[in-house]
Amino acid sequence: MCAICGCGGGQFLINGRVNHHSRKAGEVARFRLHQHAHEIVTETVKEARLVKVERDILAKNNNYAGVNRHYLAERGVFALNLVSSPGSGKTTLLVKTIAELNVPLAVIEGDQQTENDAMRIRAAGAPAIQINTGRGCHLDAKMVGHAMEQLDLQDDSLLLIENVGNLVCPASFDLGEAHKVVILSVTEGEDKPLKYPDMFRAADLMLLNKCDLLPYLEFDADLAISYARRINPDLQVIRISATSGIGMPAWLAWITAGCTQAAKQRVTIAQ
């Protein structure tokens, strides 16, 4: 159970079987059985409370996300929520994107600690706000709303949100973005989409990153993509390398099309 976000806490499996306490027959005295039954009831009540807390947290987050989405739509801002494991190359990809994209943009960086990524983004020439979540394992819509106010976003611009490196919790938290973009690097396992399906289901685009390293690895890119599409048949995929530039034109074209669409919607809202 994550103490901050209320994630997890549900039933868990060991070797594919529901885990209750492991007991060998004959090892537990009768009075312990009564105590155990009492513990199970107590745990069930606790879990029901946790589920309610989690639901309340997500409902509150969704309200903030709705406010953010409205704020962004009024300004014609195209917002992307970049999610991945730690080390997938999100920040490097953002730095390259900033260098090559001819669109006004701003960045919100999420990490548990340090301002390192925001400093890299600022050095690349874009305004950036760093959110440190402390023990928190994801950004939420309230944090992002406050950061957006400080960024003073331009009309018809792009907002890139780099979430905390975590393939679990950020899947559940809508920030008001137009799309979640999941980044899977070829230095990870092909089966990440099967292990963390919620994230690949929540995303609209997958960037298969570090593709310049494929000749040196046993990573099967087609297999990884087929696993991701087994989870989410509508998932768009771009094979990319921020280092070599493979796939960058497709990624930049995808962003530009989204920005054009968001700007058109702003005009419609204004009329």
Least distance to Mg ion, CB of residue 222, Å: 27
Shortest spacing between CB 110 and Mg ion, in angstroms = 9
Sequence-distant (6+) residues with CB within 8 A of 142 are 61, 64
Nearer of residues 118 and 153 to Mg ion, judged by Cβ: 118
Per CB under 5 A, the list member of 54, 117, 156, 174 interacting with Mg ion is 117
> Please, which residues have CB within 8 angstroms of residue 193's CB and are 6 or more apart in sequence?
184, 200, 224, 227, 228, 230, 231
Determine the interface stretch with Mg ion among 83-91, 118-126, 146-154, 221-229 (rule: CB under 5 A): 83-91
For Mg ion, which residue of 84, 85, 91, 241 counts as binding (CB under 5 A)? 91
Is the CB of 90 or the CB of 96 nearer to Mg ion? 90
163 binds Mg ion (CB under 5 A): no
Of 43, 40, 61, the residue nearest 51 (C-alpha)? 43
The residue number with the shortest CB distance to Mg ion is 91
Q: Which of residues 95-114 bind Mg ion (CB under 5 A)?
A: none
Kindly indicate which of the ranges 57-65, 85-93, 99-107, 251-259 contains the residues binding Mg ion, using the contact rule CB under 5 A.
85-93
Work out how close the CB of 117 gets to Mg ion at its nearest, in angstroms, rounded to a whole number.
4
Q: Using CA atoms, how far apart are residues 218 and 224, in angstroms rounded to an integer?
A: 12
How many helices (DSSP H) and strands (DSSP E) are in the chain?
A: 8, 9
- Using alpha carbons, list the distances in angstroms from residue 218 to 86, 92, 211, 215, 223: 21, 23, 12, 8, 11
Nearer to Mg ion, 91 or 130 (CB): 91
Cβ distance to Mg ion smaller for residue 61 or 163: 163
Q: Which two tokens stand for residue 242?
A: 């921020």
The site for Mg ion, by CB under 5 A, has a size of 3
Q: Which residues contact 242 (CB under 8 A, 6 or more apart)?
A: 89, 92, 93, 95, 96, 209, 210, 248
Q: Of the two residues 117 and 188, which places its CB atom closer to Mg ion in the complex?
A: 117
Report the SS3 class of residue 16.
coil
| Footprint of Mg ion (CB under 5 A) | 90-91, 117
